[in-house]
Structure 1
């Protein structure tokens, strides 16, 4: 991941001293906006959610929690998806599944290591594998986990992506995880990320991403062609074992 500076008061003082030591040209660079032109936060655009049923948004958004480490986006997204599909537990003594609890139940040393602070993060195929393992240890026995990876940015591929989003939007009986290059959407950094689809506005052709990277973002909309570009962009060499990795969708169906 790229270097992100903290904003606590003490850190701000240290950061100020750091910038004073920089050459004038570096210290005076124009700060980047929170989101680039391809992402619109839900606080600025919520008309679709007020005028449509948006079943996925209402089923999953209450269960989307911040990833509990900087490398835990996959476990955060899978936990939110399974909690949303299962719904709020019926009994007072039952807890809502947390990210650490799901990791413990799956009992995968690999997933735990990849999701730990400073971990490498998962590859797309590992996301599929770990999602299937998580489904098997929850009450969603028999649920199907189906991956889809785009091969190119052709019109047919874009149509297939739109079809998947349309089918997902029809009900809350399935969930769509996305493995994508986050920076293509947010304009901030170049790196792989996992989150959850919250809604698809077919008329405006835009997708709502329920962000688990909540230290930096809230849910945002992005155009469907931009999402496809984010699925297709390979991971850069700075991410070590993830270099060259491209993304896709992982659909969980009851």
Structure 2
């Protein structure tokens, strides 16, 4: 899907802008960005999305854009976005009595065999744990560690996914490596702009940072960093529904 005339409305609905198109308090609450990052809320960021050639994931992800419940739930919020975007059969959400994935009902007895909720709330998730939880549902989650792929392979794998519908990318990266605050983080990637060689991250810590464009090389370097829990490099997941869904 290419975003053209419908883009302003989609952006307003998904990112919390006022009907005038002016930025609301959402921007004022977030931390400042370094010069290497471009906010999607800026005119430059919006132009990048409108001109990007791999953006099939943006609309389905932004339709289910979630804010992580606590500082360790970035992976949980990211999985909720992807599973809802894939229209995976969901448990009933008690808040609305409707089938919809939330950060409460995603985790259950089956996912606890991978890692219990209490540990996630303390430690967050490794790439393998993220994939393990996702595969308790009818999806495939292919793991790529940063040290195992070159920049060229990273760019090709992720950009190809973003140009196709019904599959998604979750990236696990070190924030400091792209000039953001603190440590490891997980969020979906939503688009790729080939002209500037940048990826769009839909950051699930929406209270902290807006969605940002970051260069492919910087994001790849940020995945090629050691996760202190697993002892392995961070990386990314390519996620698709199982064939029998």
| TM-score, scaled to structure 1 | 0.72
Select which of 181, 191, 196 maps to 1:199: 191
RMSD value over aligned CA atoms? 2.5
Structure 1 or 2, whichever has the larger Rg, is 1
Corresponding residue for residue 158 of structure 1: 151
Q: Does residue 67 in structure 1 map to residue 68 in structure 2?
A: yes
- Within-5 A mapping of 1:28-47: 34-44=32-42, 45-47=45-47
**Equivalents in 1 of 2:140, 2:220: separation in Å?**
23
Corresponding residue for residue 187 of structure 1: 180
**Equivalents in 2 of 1:80, 1:158: separation in Å?**
26
Corresponding residue for residue 249 of structure 1: 236
Q: Does residue 115 in structure 1 map to residue 120 in structure 2?
A: yes
**Equivalents in 1 of 2:238, 2:150: separation in Å?**
17
Structure in which a larger fraction of residues adopt helix: 1
Q: Is the 8 A contact 2:52 2:192 kept in 1?
A: no
Ranges of 4+ aligned residues in structure 1 off by more than 6 Å: none
- SS of 1:225's partner is helix
Structure 1 residues 243 and 127, CA, compared in 2 at 3 Å: closer, same or farther?
A: closer
Select which of 70, 95, 98 maps to 1:94: 98
**Equivalents in 1 of 2:177, 2:120: separation in Å?**
22
1:145 CA drift (Å): 1.5
- Within-5 A mapping of 1:47-62: 47-52=47-52, 54-62=55-63
Unaligned residue ranges in structure 1 (runs of 5+): 1-32, 236-240
1:246 CA drift (Å): 2.0
Unaligned residue ranges in structure 2 (runs of 5+): 1-30, 91-95
Select which of 131, 136, 141 maps to 2:134: 131
Corresponding residue for residue 170 of structure 2: 177
- Within-5 A mapping of 1:9-20: none
Q: Is the 8 A contact 2:49 2:193 kept in 1?
A: no
Q: Is the 8 A contact 1:36 1:188 kept in 2?
A: no
1:94 CA drift (Å): 3.0
Corresponding residue for residue 208 of structure 1: 200
- SS of 1:101's partner is coil
Structure 1 residues 88 and 220, CA, compared in 2 at 3 Å: closer, same or farther?
A: farther
Count of paired positions: 202
